[in-house]
Structure formats: C-alpha cells, structure tokens
C-alpha cells in the first residue's frame, strides 16, 4: 500500500497492531478523478467526513478542493480545523441541536454553505436561530426521494432514500417547505439534497434521486426561491472483492446528464462521497494471536484468531460486510486452506468470515478496504484500546497516532468518581 512495507509496519513496536494504514496519494487521486468528471462545470465534492475524519485525510482532500458533508457540530469544527472553507461545508443530519445550528450559521463569519434541513420542524427551528442571531440562514432541503428499497439494492441498514426512512422531507411536504422558506425573512432556500443510500448496487437509484431533485429545483425556482445548487448525495460504491460495476465519476456524469435534460446547467451540482474517496485506500493490519483447530462431526475446523476485532472494524458484524483478509507475508504453499478469521471480542459477530490462507497460517494479516467507516466507527468495547493509524505519502510514513497505554482505559473507567 502506497509503497510501504506493511509487514514491517505491523512488526514495528511503535505502531504494532491493530493498525490502520492509509495511502494519502491514492485518496488525493480519487478526489481528482471525481472533480475531473465535472469538466469545469460548477460543482462541489463534499467529502462525507463520517467515513474518515483523520486530519491528514481531511486536509489532503481540502487541498484538492473538496468541501465537507458533516453531520454533527464536532465534524463541522473538525472540517474547519482541517482547512475546509466554511462556504464549502454542508451540514446534514435529522436532529441538529440549537448549539450546532448556531455554529453552522456563524462559522467563518458568514456561516457554512448550507444547512440541509430534514424536516419542516427543523426548517422552523433554523429560521428561529437565524432570527436570534440576526442572520439569514442558507438552507437546502434534504428530500426523501421515495426510491423503492428494491431499486436502492443495498443493505437495509444503509438504505436511506425510501419512504420508511427517518431521513429527509417527504415529497408530500416539499411544497409546504418551499412556502415556509419563501415566507421567512431569515431563510434562503438555496438547494435540494438527497442521499439515497450507501454502497449503491448501481447508478440507477442515484439517477432517480437526481431526477426528483432537479424537478423540485425547477418548481422552487418557479416560485421565486433563490436556488443555487442540487446535491445528489453520496453512495458511490467500491469493490470489496466481489466486483463493482461503476467508478464514482460515472455517478457524477449520470447526475450531470439528468441536470442537462432538466435544463438547469447553471446550478451547481454537489455530491457527497465518503466511501468512494477513502474506502479502498486503507487497510487494517492485525497479528495472529493463535489458531484454534477442532474436529466437528468428523470434519476439521480452523479459526485464525487475530488482534483486530469488531470494535476496530464493525462492518462485518453490523452489515454482514465482507472484507478480504490477506497474509502480509505469503507462507509456503498455496493459499487454499479455509480459515475462519475472528477477533478477540466476546461476541459471535466478531467474525471476519472464511478466507483461503496457507495450510500454515500467516503471522500477520491485512484486512482490506478498511479506509471508510473503520476507525470512525471503532469503540473501546471489551476494554480494548483504539487501533493506531499510520498515514503514507510518497512512499513513506508522514504521520502516525500513538496507541493509548494499556492502563489508560482502566484509569478512565475506574476513575469515574462518586460525588
Ligand atoms: N451524505 C449523507 C447525507 C450520508 O448520510 C452519507 C452516509 C453520505 C453522504 C456518504 O455516503 P457514502 O458515499 O460513504 O456511501 N457505516 C456504513 C455506511 C453508512 C453511511 C451513512 N451515510 C458502512 O460502513 O457501510
């Protein structure tokens, strides 16, 4: 990865395992490819920070010209701290607190690019905060485009743009939203947004969402709203090993085609990729603690017990996701022996699935495509320290985090005082 020797990193006392390693050059390349798909037309690639909030990554993407899609005051402050211009930040999320709204409306002096409201109730609350602060709030309406779940075709837990989801303003309420925004002296309705789902199976649901958004934009413009952009969201998938039909740039081109047909090319097109920018460019290194062999019903069973668990990478446990597991040093013989790779956490779902490794298993492995929704979803469950992170650019390590000392968690938890 990125020209560094992963096995050396894994053996290194300073980083050890479990450790995430990221390729900053490849992440920057992804951003450039996506930005190129705009062919100079007005647009914004707003990186969904929830996928990976590490400073070196957010800064690298900001340098390429990316903005940020944030979902909390914390992510908003992080994006600003990493050099993302306030104007290039959009803020999604179904329940933002007043404090968070105030930060959004005042960041950088004139507020972020847009607060993406997800309900009529929130629209009213943003107007109230605007009034309290004496500002006009730039808002966009995150729409629930009502795409059929079957069309979205991704795991139910990451499928958002259908009628039963808690996200977005329903199509039946959009007219009321436009009216409410137009009537308010503290709101400027400048866009429409949607996020149909993540790791989408194809471009079609994305294009369907885009068609709905441009239709609504035309309607709102007709009613005098100062619409400046349409945001077709994230959801571009990556290849976790089973193949993936499209590059992220093709989602952008599909949205631009919908835009052209709608005759709204003067609007800015926003996209909010998370996974597509970082997913394939991070790995999780783990060491093998021990093997366990058993004979069950006369058949041999093999487990490979590694020191990374579901607390480090929860995707397999939460979404039945499959990440390839490969040896860091290829052992003798063919990789044709099935090993069930599991972590040390006391949960049956702490299981990375079956992988073909050598008859003599490796001492260390890499869990691939762990750059998105890996570290950001990690926890200290079972009293485990968070994994360390190593950042690579130009073939060398340019930044790394330190592992918390073994007793840090003990001090933190035992130290909770009583009165
Ligand atoms: N925009 C909004 C409003 C979102 O909710 C999301 C992701 C994105 C953009 C970025 O989506 P992406 O391009 O990464 O698909 N933890 C799950 C994924 C959850 C996605 C949540 N929303 C996983 O590991 O698969």
Please say if the pLDDT value at position 122 is more than 70: yes
Q: What's the gap in Å between 363 CA and the centre of ligand 1?
A: 33
Residue nearest to atom 22 of ligand 1 (CA): 198
Residue nearest to atom 7 of ligand 1 (CA): 198
Q: What is the pLDDT of residue 419?
A: 78
- The answer to whether 82 is a known catalytic residue is no
Residue nearest to atom 23 of ligand 1 (CA): 373
Distance, CA of 206 to CA of 134 (rounded, Å): 37
Percent of the chain with pLDDT strictly greater than 90: 88
Q: Out of 346, 394, 396, 415, which one is annotated catalytic?
A: 346
Q: What's the gap in Å between 69 CA and the centre of ligand 1?
A: 10
Mean pLDDT (whole number) for 84-90:
98
- End-to-end Cα distance, the chain: 50
Please say if the pLDDT value at position 332 is more than 70: no
- What lies within 8 Å, CB to CB, of 7 at 6+ separation is 328, 329, 364
Question: What length is written for the chain?
Answer: 419
Tokens at 335, concatenated: 């990789």
Asked if 309 and 382 count as a contact pair (C-beta separation under 8 A), the reply is yes
Of the residues 31, 51, 157, which should be mutated to test ligand 1's pocket, given the most ligand atoms within 8 Å of the CB? 51
Beta strands 364-367 and 19-23: pairing type? unpaired
- Kindly state the DSSP code that residue 140 receives in the 8-state scheme: E
What would the pLDDT profile of 333-342 be if each residue is shown by its tens digit?
Answer: 678 899 999 9
Tokens at 316, concatenated: 């397999």
Alpha helix ranges (H) inside 107-203: 120-133, 149-152, 174-183
Question: Cis omega before residue 18 (within 30°)?
Answer: yes
Of the residues 195, 197, 236, which should be mutated to test ligand 1's pocket, given the most ligand atoms within 8 Å of the CB? 195
Q: What's the gap in Å between 308 CA and the centre of ligand 1?
A: 23
What would the pLDDT profile of 193-207 be if each residue is shown by its tens digit?
Answer: 999 999 998 999 999
The widest CA-to-CA distance across the chain, in whole angstroms, is: 76
pLDDT band at 146 (very low <50, low <70, confident <90, very high): confident
Q: What's the gap in Å between 71 CA and the centre of ligand 1?
A: 11
Residue nearest to atom 24 of ligand 1 (CA): 373
Please report the DSSP string for 14-71 in residue order. TT-SSEEEEEHHHHHHHHHHHHHTTTTSSEEEEEEGGG---HHHHHHHHHTT-EEEES
Please state the atom number of ligand 1 nearest to the C-alpha of residue 155: 25
Q: What is the pLDDT of residue 147?
A: 84
Asked if 132 and 124 count as a contact pair (C-beta separation under 8 A), the reply is no
Q: What are phi and psi of 155, to 5 degrees?
A: -60, 140
Please state the atom number of ligand 1 nearest to the C-alpha of residue 373: 24
Please say if the pLDDT value at position 57 is more than 80: yes
What would the pLDDT profile of 154-187 be if each residue is shown by its tens digit?
Answer: 777 777 767 777 889 999 999 999 999 999 999 9
Mean of all residue pLDDT scores within the chain: 95
Q: What is the pLDDT of residue 278?
A: 98
Q: What's the gap in Å between 262 CA and the centre of ligand 1?
A: 27
Asked if 264 and 230 count as a contact pair (C-beta separation under 8 A), the reply is yes
- Kindly state the DSSP code that residue 387 receives in the 8-state scheme: P
Other C-beta atoms within 10 Å of 93: how many?
22
List residues near ligand 1 (CB under 6 A). 48, 51, 69, 92, 158, 195, 198-199, 233-236, 272-276, 315, 319, 372-373
Q: What's the gap in Å between 157 CA and the centre of ligand 1?
A: 10
């Amino acid at each position: 990865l990125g020209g560094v020797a992963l096995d050396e990193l894994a053996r290194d006392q300073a980083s050890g395992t479990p450790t995430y390693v990221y390729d900053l050059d490849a992440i920057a390349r992804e951003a450039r490819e996506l930005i190129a798909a705009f062919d100079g037309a007005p647009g914004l690639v707003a990186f969904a920070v929830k996928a990976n909030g590490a400073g070196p990554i957010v800064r690298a993407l900001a340098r390429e010209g990316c903005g940020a899609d944030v979902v909390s005051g914390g992510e908003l402050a992080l994006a600003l701290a990493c050099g993302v211009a306030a104007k290039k930040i959009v803020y999604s999320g179904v329940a933002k607190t007043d404090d968070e709204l105030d930060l959004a409306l005042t960041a950088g002096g004139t507020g972020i690019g847009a607060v993406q409201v997800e309900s009529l109730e929130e629209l009213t609350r943003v107007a109230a905060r605007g009034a309290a602060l004496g500002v006009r709030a730039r808002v966009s309406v995150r729409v629930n485009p009502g795409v059929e779940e079957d069309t979205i075709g991704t795991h139910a837990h990451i499928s958002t743009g259908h009628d039963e989801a808690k996200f977005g303003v329903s199509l039946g309420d959009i007219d009321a939203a436009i009216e409410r925004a137009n009537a308010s002296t503290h709101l400027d309705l400048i866009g429409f947004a949607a996020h149909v789902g993540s790791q989408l199976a194809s471009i079609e649901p994305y294009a369907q969402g885009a068609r709905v958004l441009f239709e609504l934009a035309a309607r709102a413009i007709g009613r005098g709203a100062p619409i400046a952009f349409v945001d077709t969201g994230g959801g571009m998938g990556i290849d976790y090993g089973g193949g993936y039909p499209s590059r992220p740039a093709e989602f952008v081109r599909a949205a631009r085609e919908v835009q052209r047909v709608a005759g709204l090319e003067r609007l800015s097109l926003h996209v909010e990729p998370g996974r597509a920018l970082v997913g394939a460019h991070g790995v999780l290194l783990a060491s093998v603690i021990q093997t366990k062999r058993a004979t069950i019903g006369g058949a041999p069973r093999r487990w490979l017990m590694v020191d990374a668990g579901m607390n480090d990478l929860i995707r397999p446990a939460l979404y039945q996701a499959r990440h390839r597991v490969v040896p860091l040093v290829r052992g003798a013989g063919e990789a044709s022996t099935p090993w069930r790779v599991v972590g040390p956490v006391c949960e049956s779902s702490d299981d990375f699935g079956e992988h073909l490794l050598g008859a003599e298993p490796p001492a260390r492995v890499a869990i691939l495509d762990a750059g998105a929704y890996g570290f950001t979803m990690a926890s200290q469950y079972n009293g485990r320290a968070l994994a360390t992170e190593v950042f690579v650019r130009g073939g060398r390590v340019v930044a790394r985090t330190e592992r918390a000392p073994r007793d840090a968690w003990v001090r933190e938890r035992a130290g909770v005082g009583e009165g």
